[in-house]
Amino acid sequence: MSIRTLDDLLAEGVSGRRVLVRADLNVPLDKQTGDITDDGRIRAVLPTLGALVEAGAKVVVCSHLGRPKGAPAPQFSLRPVAGRLGELLGAPVHFATDTVGDSARSTVAGLADGQVALLENLRFNAGETSKDDAERGAFADQLVAFGDAYVDDAFGAVHRKHASVYDVPARLPHVAGRLVLREVEVLSRLTSDPERPYVVVLGGSKVSDKLAVIEALLPTVDRLLIGGGMCFTFLKAQGLEVGTSLLEKDMVETCGNLLERAAGKILLPVDVVVADAFAPDAAHDTVRVDGIPSHRLGLDIGPETVAGFAAALSQAKTIFWNGPMGVFEMAAFANGTRGVAEAITKTDAFTVVGGGDSAAAVRALGLDESSFGHISTGGGASLEYLEGKTLPGIAALEN
Ligand code: 3PG
Ligand code: MG
């Protein structure tokens, strides 16, 4: 990779220099209490921040959280993240209550060597996500005033052409942080000559979100196992009735074509758990996929499917998994996701969990994170990487 790294920057010496770090601290928050429910993304950036602190840099961290619409919105404040980051670093993190305003200026100016500041949510500023190059550029100009060098460690956001990801590195000496480097190294093992059999497990609710990655993976993989809400559109394409299950009607034909072209590589569920309603306490049963009642909806894959998927996984030498197999947040519909996750941990394959919901599922189900080869911090980013797309954040580091 023709990208300069954090080690290159550290070798130049950063003591007393201001280093602007783009992190992806977009963590899930409890809707009621506002508490951080999964701090995986904060932990993931500690190696980079720790190294900069130790080297005596003045570390200025910026991130987005959620999708505020270009103006301050208190429920998307990064303040709780600053608190948690400080706990994990073992030193207080100075929090700026704006991103590029008076608070940010005085917070950054007040940093001593080896101290860390966190700016308020980048997306409180319309320039961050603007499609207009000049508007994004103007915001980037304000951000670069806080750094003598730039480190991108926000793997989860490298697929976004946003000011802090794309325009800032064009204006400052730039390097890839430890997390971005590791993510790219791992994912490139999947795209260039993976050890075979290479088995991919895809779940989640929408086929339309996964279509591009299915297209890209079909020629490469040996087996593609499909569960989650998206399996019902495939089952429908096979001529089965799916009751009131999630169905993307306009995707049925596309799924039919994919199944034809896949020549047996795609494995679909043979049984599913159907319920009366989308609710944790709904009455539910396991049925075969050709016997889904017209008034019920599928919320998980069934035990026979789990066994079939586990058998395919047990042969694998490389596994990529993205997307839960069912509504794992409800205990009654978590067995499919748990079963597949456990099957993945039992193989001796190189295993990668692709971001977002699947990473949260691993932790929420109490599975041992260390029994997976790599848990990506990027959902959309890891999928777009596997699709072979140019990722704006990576391209900006290469220039
Ligand atoms: C994510 O959670 O997928 C990343 O943080 C990117 O967020 P976004 O999808 O809102 O751009
Ligand atoms: Mg996303």
H-type alpha helices, 115-160: 126-129, 133-144
Instruction: Please name the residue that has the structure tokens 């699709």.
Output: 387
- The CA angle 131-137-140, to the nearest 5 degrees, is 115
> Does the C-beta of 308 come closer than 6 Å to ligand 1?
no
Question: Does 156 contact ligand 1 (Cβ within 6 A)?
Answer: yes
- Show Cβ contacts of residue 321 under 8 Å, excluding neighbours closer than 6 positions: 200, 201, 202, 340, 341, 344, 351, 352, 353, 354, 358
Specify the pTM: 0.91
Cβ pair 357, 323 in contact under 8 A:
yes
Q: Is the CB of 373 inside a 6 Å radius of any atom of ligand 1?
A: no
Determine which residue's CA is closest to atom 1 belonging to ligand 1: 156
CA-based R_g, the chain, Å: 22
**Full strand arrangement of the beta sheet holding 198-202:** 266-267, 223-226, 198-202, 318-322, 350-353, 374-375
Work out the number of other CB atoms within 10 angstroms of the CB of residue 1: 12
Q: What CA–CA distances, in Å, run from 23 to 48, 158, 179, 221, 348?
A: 10, 10, 9, 32, 32
pLDDT at 1: 53
Q: Which of 377, 383, 381 is nearest to 394 (CA)?
A: 381
* Whether residue 380 has its Cβ less than 6 Å from ligand 1: yes
For a mutational test of ligand 1's pocket, the pick from 160, 162, 166, 180, i.e. the residue with the most ligand atoms closer than 8 A to its C-beta, is 160
Indicate the average pLDDT of the chain: 96
Distance 379 CA to ligand 2 centre (A): 6
Using the predicted structure, report yes or no on whether residue 62 has a pLDDT greater than 80.
yes
Amino acid at 222: D
Instruction: Please state, in angstroms and rounded to a whole number, the distance separating the CA atoms of residues 357 and 337.
Output: 11
Please report the pLDDT score of residue 305 as a whole number. 98
Q: What is the pLDDT of residues 128-145, one digit of tens each?
A: 999 999 999 999 999 999
Mean predicted confidence (pLDDT) in 275-287: 98
Of all protein residues, whose CA lies closest to atom 7 belonging to ligand 1? 157
Q: Give the three-state DSSP class for 370.
A: helix
- Which pLDDT score, from 0 to 100, does residue 64 have? 98
pLDDT in tens, 222-280: 999 999 999 999 999 999 999 999 999 999 999 999 999 998 999 999 999 999 999 99
From the alpha carbon of 24, which atom of ligand 1 is closest?
5
Q: Looking at ligand 1, which residue's alpha carbon is closest to its atom 9?
A: 380
Does residue 97 surpass a pLDDT of 90?
Answer: yes
Q: Judge if the beta carbon of residue 160 lies within 6 A of ligand 1.
A: yes
* 155 touches 24 (CB < 8 A): yes
The confidence score (pLDDT) of residue 2 equals 84
Q: How far is the CA of 309 from the centre of ligand 2 (A)?
A: 27
Q: What's the confidence (pLDDT) of residue 355?
A: 73
